[in-house]
Amino acid sequence: GEGGGRADGQSRLTDSVDIAAAALKAGKLVLLPTETVYGLAADASDATAVAAIFEAKGRPRFNPLIAHVPDAMAAESIAVFGEAARKLAEAFWPGPLTLVAPVRDRGAVCDLARAGLDSVAVRAPGHAKARAILSAFGGAVVAPSANRSGRPSPTTFADAVEETGAFAAAAVDGGPCAVGVESTVVSVLDGKVALLRPGAVTRAEIEALVGPLSDSGEGHRSPGRLTLHYAPDAPVRIEAEAARPGEILLGFGPDVGDVRWSLSPTGDLREAAANVFRLLREADREHPAGIAVAPIPLTGLGEAINDRLRRAAGFVG
Ligand code: TXA
Ligand code: MG
């Protein structure tokens, strides 16, 4: 259909950066690889195209999206950066960090994409193909994770196509996502720096640069963070020491016996982050009575992994 809607149930599977950029210019949706998770992308300035993203994901409209840009210069044409934002962008871009700052150019990222807020989320992704598509397109691209709302984020091309490929006019295969959990979301508003969503860049890495983070009080929480999120169909039980009857156990670290798949046999948090969504999906395909996940330490990247697992298990953030 027109205006970024469903492409007659057919994704155009393509490695062509130019085809993807042309589809975005035409107001269509594109499956886009990033280093964190696959995104479902649209021209950020095109409200009709952005509406098609919400439709494809089955997503509540109040949830604002991240505008993806090639670099900090492009970000500063859209958002107002203070000293902390500049430091963070310089240290971690291109890469898995999103900054929420006051909006400067309301037309570049339309009201629907910002959910009507006076702030805007911007990120310069590190994946080579994402960067090439952004350069070829020449504007900001909004891209939520390419899963249907509430489900685990896709970290492989096949999983992305299975989730929302039917809604995309082009789908670009960028291989498995190296990071595997979404970007860290940090707000830089009113002179305060706050962590809204733990992610690939750790709290410690951010604090080393800008000092202690402010408390992200209720009001400053990432508005889009539903309680049951990242969830497979089977119920998820976390901090499990062993599998109960009918459950599949996902392990971490040295094997404890009835582990089916391991997030990381050596207890490596980077490896676990890269595997977590893929293994939740893998386990779910067997329709188990439940998916049990071994305890993961809360340090470093473990904060983001535990955050996603708690939400998959239905706990309030
Ligand atoms: O790694 C990622 O960030 C992936 C890849 C595709 O780039 N994208 C992603 O987008 O995770 P999404 O839409 O699934 O998550 C965006 C998060 C949500 O938690 C949303 O609430 C928050 O960013 N966010 C966006 N704009 C915001 C704003 N103005 N204020 C506060 N939070 C905002
Ligand atoms: Mg998401």
Does residue 275 share a domain with residue 156?
Answer: no
Fill in the amino acid letter for 78: I
List residues forming the annotated binding site for ATP. Answer: 59, 63, 145, 153, 197, 230
Does residue 307 share a domain with residue 177?
Answer: no
Atom of ligand 1 nearest to the CA of 183: 1
CB-neighbour burial class of residue 231 (10 A; exposed 0-12, middle 13-18, buried 19+): buried
Rounded CA gap, 145 and 185, in Å? Answer: 14
Does residue 134 share a domain with residue 23?
Answer: yes
Q: Which ligand has the nearest atom to the CA of 189?
A: 1
Q: Which ligand has the nearest atom to the CA of 226?
A: 1
What is the per-residue pLDDT across 149-195, written as a single tens digit (0 to 9) for each? 989 999 999 999 999 999 999 999 999 999 999 999 999 999 999 99
Residue 2 located in a structural domain: no
Residue 183 located in a structural domain: yes
Q: Name the domain boundary from 193, 220, 247.
A: 220
Task: Output the CA 9–ligand 1 centroid distance in Å.
Answer: 26
Does residue 183 share a domain with residue 267?
Answer: no
User: Which CATH number fits the domain that encloses residue 61?
Assistant: 3.90.870.10
How many domains, the chain? 2
Confidence of residue 280 (pLDDT cuts 50, 70, 90): very high
Task: Output the CA 140–ligand 1 centroid distance in Å.
Answer: 14
> From residue 35, how far is each of 56, 83, 273, 301 by CA, in Å?
22, 26, 12, 15
Does residue 115 share a domain with residue 88?
Answer: yes
* Nearest of 95, 165, 155 to residue 127 by alpha carbon: 95
Task: Output the CA 301–ligand 2 centroid distance in Å.
Answer: 18
Is residue 6 predicted with pLDDT exceeding 60?
Answer: no
pTM metric for this prediction: 0.91
Residue 231 located in a structural domain: no
Does residue 241 share a domain with residue 214?
Answer: no
Alpha carbon 244 to its chain centroid, in Å, reads 31
Atom of ligand 1 nearest to the CA of 224: 21
Does residue 127 share a domain with residue 240?
Answer: no
Rounded CA gap, 68 and 273, in Å? Answer: 22
List residues forming the annotated binding site. Answer: 36, 59, 63, 68, 123, 143, 145, 153, 183, 197, 230
Average pLDDT over residues 21-50: 97
Task: Output the CA 25–ligand 2 centroid distance in Å.
Answer: 23
Give phi and psi for 285, each to the nearest 5.
-60, -20
Q: At what angle do helices 157-164 and 269-284 cross, to 10 degrees?
A: 50
Does residue 57 share a domain with residue 115?
Answer: yes
Fill in the amino acid letter for 113: A
Q: Which two tokens stand for residue 51?
A: 């509406």
Atom of ligand 1 nearest to the CA of 143: 6
Q: Name the domain boundary from 160, 195, 220.
A: 220
Q: Which ligand has the nearest atom to the CA of 79?
A: 1
Rounded CA gap, 242 and 149, in Å? Answer: 30
Is residue 309 predicted with pLDDT exceeding 70?
Answer: yes
What is the per-residue pLDDT across 234-275, written as a single tens digit (0 to 9) for each? 999 999 999 999 999 999 998 777 899 999 999 999 999 999
Alpha carbon 298 to its chain centroid, in Å, reads 20
Does residue 88 share a domain with residue 56?
Answer: yes
Is residue 2 predicted with pLDDT exceeding 70?
Answer: no
Residue 306 located in a structural domain: yes
End-to-end CA distance of the chain: 38
Atom of ligand 1 nearest to the CA of 66: 25
Task: Output the CA 149–ligand 1 centroid distance in Å.
Answer: 13
Per-residue confidence (pLDDT) for residue 181, from 0 to 100: 97
Instruction: Judge contact between 100 and 85, C-beta under 8 A.
Output: no
Q: Which of 36, 62, 65, 123 gets mutated to test ligand 1 (max ligand atoms within 8 A of its CB)?
A: 65
Is residue 22 predicted with pLDDT exceeding 90?
Answer: yes
Q: Name the domain boundary from 187, 220, 253.
A: 220
Which residues have CB atoms below 5 A from the ion given as ligand 2? 145
Give phi and psi for 248, each to the nearest 5.
-100, 130
Does residue 248 share a domain with residue 203?
Answer: no
Q: ipTM strictly over 0.90?
A: yes
* Domain of 259, in residue numbers: 236-312
Q: Which of 145, 187, 216 gets mutated to test ligand 1 (max ligand atoms within 8 A of its CB)?
A: 145
Per-residue confidence (pLDDT) for residue 48, from 0 to 100: 94
Mean pLDDT taken over the chain: 91
User: Could you tell me which residues are beta bridge partners of residue 124?
Assistant: none
